[in-house]
Amino acid sequence: MKAVNLTTQKELAGNLTVAGTAFSRMRGLLGKTFLPAGDGLWIKPCKGVHTFGMKFPIDVVFLDKGNIVIATIRELSPNRLTPLFFKASSVLELPTSIIEATRVAVGDRIDIV
């Protein structure tokens, strides 16, 4: 799968993995030593994430039911917790600098195919 910002026409992740089961959502990116450019994790359903036990920072994009961006967090460091976004339906976990490089902003529509 891949995630593309339809507003800016920039690709966020060309190799997007889905975490849609309880186990895969719980595991997330734990155990990885880095997240390569072009990779990402789509967690659904999800209203907040943590980076406890992770070894690298990530960019985080919160999406509503229509895949509209409702919040972004740049360079979330290991051993941190995001706020809960009650309107969020899913979350994209991406390599750092993707939010800036692809100009993701609140209100953008993300296409996941």
Whether the per-residue pLDDT at 8 is higher than 90: the answer is yes
Q: Where are the domains of the chain?
A: 3-112
Whether the per-residue pLDDT at 33 is higher than 90: the answer is no
By DSSP bridging, strand 15-19 and strand 39-43 are: parallel
Whether the per-residue pLDDT at 31 is higher than 90: the answer is no
Element (H, E) at 75: strand 69-76
d(CA 73, CA 59): 6
pLDDT in tens, 43-92: 999 999 999 999 999 999 999 999 999 999 999 999 999 999 999 999 99
Q: Which CATH number fits domain 3-112: 3.30.70.100, 1.10.287.110, 3.40.50.261, 2.60.120.1140?
A: 2.60.120.1140
